[in-house]
């Protein structure tokens, strides 16, 4: 199996998790590849930092047998974008793709506003980039932090509404088309029914490939769960309505959403008590696999969701064994590797 969206922390955030621990959990869970995100501390937005991160990931690979890959982070600077394209082309598949944050999240790497986002796509087109660009889509102008009510953690979804995701996706696809982007555009951690419906239509009219990923928490949990489990279910994008959750789950089954991705983002208990966004998501991939199987998802589709489609889009080596039949049992064991289990906290 492949998890194409993890935040393995380490470095200045080693208290949350080390690369080796995350890769050890992944290996015991049946994963053969992990794609690490660049909003590390310090961020992976220059060649030297990326080389250092790959060295640490390589050590983890040697000890666990899990293949480590990294997204290079983009800024709004054209020279930096060209450098990241060069790094990608030189080091692929270790540097597996590029990552843009279209709204602020953990790490403050947001590229805010349509003109700056259009500039990113123009620079990528100019550099001849044909790989995968993964985008965290939340439109900053539609976020309203004042709607978050302290102590009522479900209101996090009001401060970062579904509309912010949908409109951001629309902007990003428009900018890519306007700039003549030639690569694959990946929409990360889709959380809203409106996004599923929008991308289903946009795919019919653009000359580039659009893929989508969904997390276990957006497919299995809702903002109602955050009423009970409070800050321990705070993440970006937030949990949403039952209608949104059902749309995400069904889109995984029918193939509209291409694959599952954990958005694994562990914190300490102290971090969560202070309102940090993110949850340990690796074990939840196994729970999602079990729930999808229970819902009648075919074994062939499960293999696509948890590795084969990622393998195809990124032109990787084999994604490893099929989804284990005892995924639910492995999930229960692996969930204990973290300070809390967001799926039963």
Which domains, from first to last, does the chain contain? 2-335 (3.20.20.140)
Pseudo-torsion of CA 46, 92, 302, 282, nearest 10°?
-30
The catalytic residues are 263
CB atoms within 10 A of CB 212: 24
Which pLDDT belongs to residue 291?
98
pLDDT of residue 320: 72
Looking at residue 345, what is its pLDDT? 57
Two tokens, residue 261: 């991705």
Residues sharing a CB contact under 8 Å with residue 8, sequence separation 6 or more, in sequence order: 17, 18, 19, 22, 23, 34, 36, 57, 264
**Opening angle at CA 335, ends 138 and 224, nearest 5:** 45
Which of 106, 118, 6, 117 is closest to 66 using CA atoms?
6
Cα–Cα distance for residue pair 250/286, rounded to 1 Å: 17
CA distances 335 to 55, 239, 283, 344, Å, are 28, 20, 5, 10
Query: Which residues of the chain are under the pLDDT cut of 50?
Result: none
Model pLDDT, residue 100: 98
pLDDT of residue 114: 97
Q: Smallest Cα–Cα separation from 312: which of 262, 265, 255, 263?
A: 255
């Amino acid at each position: 199996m492949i998890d194409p969206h993890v935040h393995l922390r380490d470095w200045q955030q080693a208290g949350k998790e080390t690369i080796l621990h995350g890769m050890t959990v992944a290996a015991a869970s049946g994963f053969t590849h992990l794609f690490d995100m660049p909003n590390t501390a310090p961020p992976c937005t220059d060649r030297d930092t990326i080389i250092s991160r790959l060295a640490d990931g390589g050590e983890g690979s040697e000890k666990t047998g899990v293949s480590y890959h990294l997204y290079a982070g983009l800024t709004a600077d054209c020279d930096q974008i060209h450098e990241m394209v060069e790094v990608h082309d030189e080091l692929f598949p270790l540097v597996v793709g590029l990552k843009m944050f279209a709204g602020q999240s953990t790490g403050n790497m947001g590229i805010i506003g349509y003109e700056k986002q259009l500039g990113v796509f123009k620079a990528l087109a100019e550099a001849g980039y044909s790989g995968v660009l993964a985008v965290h889509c939340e439109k900053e102008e539609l976020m309203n932090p004042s709607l978050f009510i302290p102590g009522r953690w479900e209101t996090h979804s009001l401060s970062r509404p579904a509309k912010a995701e949908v409109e951001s996706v629309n902007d990003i696809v428009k900018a890519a088309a306007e700039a003549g982007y030639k690569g694959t555009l990946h929409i990360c951690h889709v959380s809203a029914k409106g996004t599923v419906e929008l991308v289903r239509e946009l795919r019919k009219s653009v000359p580039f490939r659009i893929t989508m990923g969904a997390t276990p928490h957006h497919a299995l949990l809702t903002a109602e769960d955050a009423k009970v489990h409070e800050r321990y279910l705070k993440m970006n994008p937030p949990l949403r309505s039952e209608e949104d959750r059902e749309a995400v789950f069904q889109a995984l089954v029918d193939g509209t959403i291409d694959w599952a991705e954990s958005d694994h983002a562990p914190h300490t208990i102290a971090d969560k008590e202070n309102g940090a966004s993110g949850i340990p998501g690796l074990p939840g991939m196994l729970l999602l696999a079990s729930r999808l199987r229970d819902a009648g998802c075919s074994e062939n589709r499960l293999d696509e969701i948890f590795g084969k489609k990622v393998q195809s889009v990124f032109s990787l080596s084999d994604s490893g064994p099929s989804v284990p039949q005892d995924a639910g049992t492995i999930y229960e064991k692996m969930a204990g590797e973290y300070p809390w289990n967001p799926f039963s906290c």
